[in-house]
Amino acid sequence: MTTTNETKTWIITGASSGLGLALAEAALAAGEHVIGTARRADRFDVLKERYGDRLLAIEHDVRDTAGAAAVVQRALEVFGHVDVLVNNAGAGQVGSAEEITDAALRAMLEQHLFGPAAYVRAVLPHLRERRSGAIVQMSSQGGRMSFPAVGSYSAGKFALEGWSEALAGEVAPFGIRVLIVEPSRFRTAFNAADVLNTAQQQSSIYDEAIGAVRANMAEADGIQEGDPARAAQVIRDMLDTPDAPLRLPLGAEAVRNLTRVYRGALDDVEKWASVSESADFPGMPPAVRAF
């Protein structure tokens, strides 16, 4: 990420808890500016007391896509520029495909795709003009793999990753970096009973398939192996690393799981390659594409 001698300014959605809070605290402790959003602005009271005017707390629900532009505009009015956008706000959801309603599925897409997309659209003209900056998309190991009971959550994260991969190619010529972060479990409130969403109508029919997952998701609260403060430092370091990857698995479990998933997927492609290739017209030359 190209930087100047100006004090770095961050916009972090969902900055009052979890990895968003860890990133906000790291930035503020480094003397930087943070625009933090949350559904309730009073959740920033402790940080405001500690860091004063370097933190601008704004009440905003990322599902209100029309409000993203006003947050970015306010950031520019107060601090003059934005260097890093972190799309962090979101929540987990547990339930089988049959149990999750349209409204619940749509909520995952609104939080994990449409909300981040609105913030990106709002900040990009400013970053393009400065020809610098970074966009951090907080995804999940569940953005590259999925398993029973978390399909609705993964749907939002898969969508975010596909959208962000294209975005990275579009903005690279303007000196703008995109980093997709794929955490495993971190010691946040993500798994807490009052935070983790569950299907309102649960069916015993699926107990054998997803009962253990439901229990495991709840039992993880407070014992997750990931350290949010260490995660925040890793992300900060990656933004200053010229050859950083597009996707960053975060946590040992993410490394193990994604290694297994990638190798399994490659094995399948290679095993069935001749079958896949047989669907083409015979004798056709390889396609020439713009990517």
CB 12 within 8 A of CB 38: no
Closest CA to 13 of 104, 110, 126, 138: 138
Residue in this structure with the two tokens 């010691």, named with its chain if needed: 187
Q: Could you tell me the two tokens for 54? A: 């370097």
Catalytic residue among 16, 17, 139, 184: 139
271 is catalytic: no
What's the rounded Cα separation, in Å, for the pair 262 and 208? 27
Which residue(s) pair with 138 in the sheet? 181
Residue in this structure with the two tokens 């900056």, named with its chain if needed: 133
What's the rounded Cα separation, in Å, for the pair 33 and 55? 6
139 is catalytic: yes
Q: Would you give the end-to-end CA distance of the chain in angstroms?
A: 23
Catalytic residue among 157, 164, 184, 206: 157
153 is catalytic: yes
Catalytic residue among 51, 119, 153, 206: 153
Give catalytic residues, as residue numbers.
139, 153, 157
